Structure 1
């Protein structure tokens, strides 16, 4: 059995964990902070379609739950699948958001480091949005790059 190198990237957010989960589980809001989805998601049955530089990605999210799980499976046009484990847990009166980044086959050290930096920026954007309340008025158009 072979396992991939992994890195857990996390951030503390000064908001009740249930509010953080509710925001993150609203898939139409993901493009506000997840810059790989900056052009938006379109519902297609149980899946969502995310256009990107590598073509359309099909995204299947975990069902709504009371455990803070926002996992999602991304299937690229070429059939490659990427499991993204994304969790929200209570941290005192706030929340801890954790993303498990798995180094994909054929990914170089520098690509893995760049992917980790990207996730860190996305989680920092999530924190900023939720702690300032800008999700109630902002459009999220400040994110211009595409990532899947």
Structure 2
């Protein structure tokens, strides 16, 4: 989810938001037309989202970051696809009543937070190592160019 004005895209000049849904910071938001591809995110701030999205407010201490990761797991995405309706794959929709009927076993919110934090820390480490690899590849390329000059 990103602010509309940050996109290099023409929306036809329409600022009409009739039918749009309000999402509060931390809400889970999923695209009914792309949930079977893992199109779910967390609202970074209070905002409005297209009617094509479903807004889910965490309750009972539920941790949005945990659920985003859970809902993007490949096995879960396949499960969500099975619950989606449409004539062809590119027309599949996961409507809220179907989504709401899916039962998941989830840990206590304290454990959800620990899992989400641990996975975020791993992601940060992976990004740092990827940046190091990129830096070293540039360094190596520079050394190789110096060898043949």
Instruction: Return the TM-score normalized by structure 2.
Output: 0.27
- Where is the strand percentage greater, Structure 1 or Structure 2? 1
Give TM-score, length-normalised by structure 1: 0.27
Larger radius of gyration: 2
Q: Which has the higher helix share?
A: 2
